[in-house]
Each structure stands twice: as structure tokens, then as C-alpha cells.
Amino acid sequence: MAAFRLGAEEHKLEELKSTSKQAALSTQDAEQQVLMDVNQKFRKLMETRALLDTQAAVEETEREKLRVMMNQYQQKAALLADLLQQQSLVAQADNQYQQALAGFWTAKSRLRSRGRERLTCHACS
């Protein structure tokens, strides 16, 4: 009977080791998922920042073209239609900048919220 009890205890010990290994693997998998998600959100933030910088430069360029066009119009060297077209281009550039700005803040918010989720998760453990 002692041999039977010893075999059962060894079996129970092996089950506990297996369960412990599975828990460790699950934890590692969860950590990898979080890291991949944070990396993806960070890349998105960097992409939106680059787009924001590009749109700011485009808007600045279109505003400068409008300033030049207004001077030309005042000197009768440009047509009203051309001036109005340039004003339209400035409005489009401003709209695209505002969209890029919204995308940047959305990406930043998503990255921060993921960080808070991670902190909250560790606090619960």
C-alpha cells in the first residue's frame, strides 16, 4: 500500500508541475500579446505623427502661396478665380491637417489607455 500511495503522490506532483508550467506559459503568452499590441499602437502613433508633420508643412506651403497670390491680386497680376482657387486649397490643407491631428490624438490616447490597462492588470494581481 505504501508503494501505491507513493506512486499516487508522485503522479500528483507531476500534475502540479505540469499545471505550473502551463500557467507560466500562459503568462508568457499574455505578456507577448501585450507587448505586440503596445508595439503596434506605438508604430501607429509614430505614423500619425509623421503624417501630422507632413500636413503641417503642406498647410504652411499653401498659406504662403495664398499670401503671394493675394499680393499678386492686389497688384492686378492675378485673377480673382486663381485667388479663390488658392483659398480653397488652403481650406483643404487645413482640413487635412485637422484630420491628421485628430488621428494623432486618437493614436496617442489608444497607446496611453493600453498602458493604463497593463498597470491596472498588474495592480489586480
pLDDT digits (tens, 9 = 90+) for 27-56: 888 889 989 999 999 999 999 999 999 999
Residue 122 sits at the vertex; the CA angle it makes with 119 and 125, to the nearest 5 degrees, is 155
How is residue 19 written as a grid cell?
499545471
Total domains, the chain = 1
> Among 24-28, 41-45, 118-122, which is the least confidently predicted range?
118-122
Q: What is the mean pLDDT of residues 43-72?
A: 97
Tell me the residue range of the domain where 88 lies: 2-124
